Amino acid sequence: MAQPHDARRWDRKMQQRLTRGEAAALGELYDRHASMVYGLVHRVLGDDEAAQEITADVFAYLWQHPDAYDPARGQLRSWFAGLAQKRAVRRLRWDELNEHKEHGRTPTAAEEREAERRIRLLGAHARADFIVQSMPATLRASLELAYFQRRDYRQVAAEFGITEAEARRRLRLGLQLVSSADTPAGGGRHDGQGRVDA
């Protein structure tokens, strides 16, 4: 697994190559990140065709606007995730609005609140998936053992041959990271946490 500073160096080089118009750089980025982008969009929309369309759109956007990504503000993986999620949520809202228009009516305030609640929930689930997949393997494995197999920190410690204090630390950190998925993805500038302007 690449260390964070190695990933940042790679991201910076890719951004420079894109700025120079190197199509091969876009292909490398697609190979590395397309499945993550597609998975996140599909998690929000549940639609293969829309997920493929938005995935292509995300990469086309970076190709056309390579300076939109600032390596100093976070990893490219997080930038892709933020852009993908923002576009998926925008598409979901657009689909909701069009569904009401097709039936020739304006949604009620209660329907709008329910649609927004559902959109926020889908966005939070997609962010949680991204966070879990981005965790170091040891942290993810500890969290999965505790969550899916209902093991406590003592059992996690025994399973991985670590101290109970380390097991508690891993589980606490993993839960804190996953709980951060409840923070709505805003429309602000890219901040390294998956939020972007685009």
- Average pLDDT in the chain: 82
Q: In the 3-class helix/strand/coil scheme, how is the chain assigned residue by residue?
A: CCCHHHHHHHHHHHHHHHHCCCHHHHHHHHHHHHHHHHHHHHHHHCCHHHHHHHHHHHHHHHHHCHHHCCHHHCCHHHHHHHHHHHHHHHHHHHHHHHHHHHCCCCCCHHHHHHHHHHHHHHHHHHHHHHHHHHCCHHHHHHHHHHHHCCCCHHHHHHHHCCCHHHHHHHHHHHHHHHHHHHCCCCCCCCCCCCCCCC
What pLDDT is stored for residue 5 in this prediction?
A: 66
Same-domain pairing of 86 and 16:
yes
List, for residues 146-195, the tens digit of each pLDDT value: 888 888 989 999 999 999 999 999 888 888 877 776 664 433 333 333 33
Q: Which domain holds residue 8?
A: 4-134
Which of 134, 158, 175 is a domain's end point?
134
Give the global pTM.
Answer: 0.63
Per-residue pLDDT at 58 exceeds 90: yes
User: Could you tell me the pLDDT band of residue 83, with boundaries at 50, 70 and 90?
Assistant: very high
Which of 110, 134, 158 is a domain's end point?
134
Same-domain pairing of 165 and 67:
no
Which of 104, 134, 164 is a domain's end point?
134
Per-residue pLDDT at 63 exceeds 90: yes
Per-residue pLDDT at 145 exceeds 50: yes
**pLDDT above 90 covers what percent of the chain?**
35
What pLDDT is stored for residue 186 in this prediction?
A: 39
User: Could you tell me the pLDDT band of residue 55, with boundaries at 50, 70 and 90?
Assistant: very high
Mean per-residue pLDDT, 112-125: 78
**pLDDT above 70 covers what percent of the chain?**
87
What pLDDT is stored for residue 14 in this prediction?
A: 92
Q: Which residue has the higher pLDDT, 193 or 77?
A: 77
The CATH number of whichever domain residue 20 belongs to comes to: 1.10.1740.10
Mean per-residue pLDDT, 122-133: 76
Same-domain pairing of 56 and 123:
yes
